[in-house]
Amino acid sequence: MTELKIDRQQLLKLRSESHALNPMVLLGQNGLTDAVLKEIGKALDSHGLVKIRIPGDDREERDADIERILNEMGAARIQTIGKTVTIWRPMPEKENSRAVSSKDSEEDRPRSRGGKILRTDKKRIAKRKTPIRRAHPKRKRTVKKAQGAAS
């Protein structure tokens, strides 16, 4: 495989997402082994965006390890800061996962007890509605109102 190329907009978006990540894979004293490459592959499959910490003071050796990771994993380099490199690879499509539509999701459906909507569900549904801004009829300013609320 070869290194994956991505456009600038996607690179900037992924770089901002990677800021809060901690390194998931830490190379040990044995360096880049097949077991480490396998772990990097698992991390890329489950997360997509992975930070890797590569120890050692030799910059050329670190760059060679990074190039080997990128070529073998088919990933793109997002950012390199010191001994930490962030790589990204699109996550594979899950074959056996059952797609849940928004109609069937647990949060959208109110729980019922004998055909009656529970009070806690009414509050939860009311919180979910996004506020809209409307001009107050007498004052010349806007007032936040929840959608669906009586005017």
Tell me: the pLDDT tens digits for 71-113? 999 999 999 999 999 999 998 887 755 555 554 555 555 555 5
pLDDT of 122 reads 59
What is the per-residue pLDDT for 72?
93
CA–CA gap between residue 69 and residue 55 (Å, rounded)? 15
Residue-range domains of the chain with CATH: 8-88 (3.30.110.60), 112-146 (no CATH)
Percent of the chain with pLDDT over 90: 50
The pLDDT assigned to 119 comes to 56
Query: What is the distance between the alpha carbons of residues 6 and 3, in angstroms, rounded to a whole number?
Result: 10
Rounded CA separation 85/43 (Å): 14
Give the residue carrying structure tokens 């670190």: 62
Token representation of residue 135: 């001009």
pLDDT digit string (tens) for the chain, length 151 residues: 667 888 999 999 999 999 999 999 999 888 899 999 999 999 999 999 999 999 988 999 999 999 999 999 999 999 999 999 999 999 888 775 555 555 455 555 555 555 555 555 556 666 665 555 556 566 655 555 555 555 5
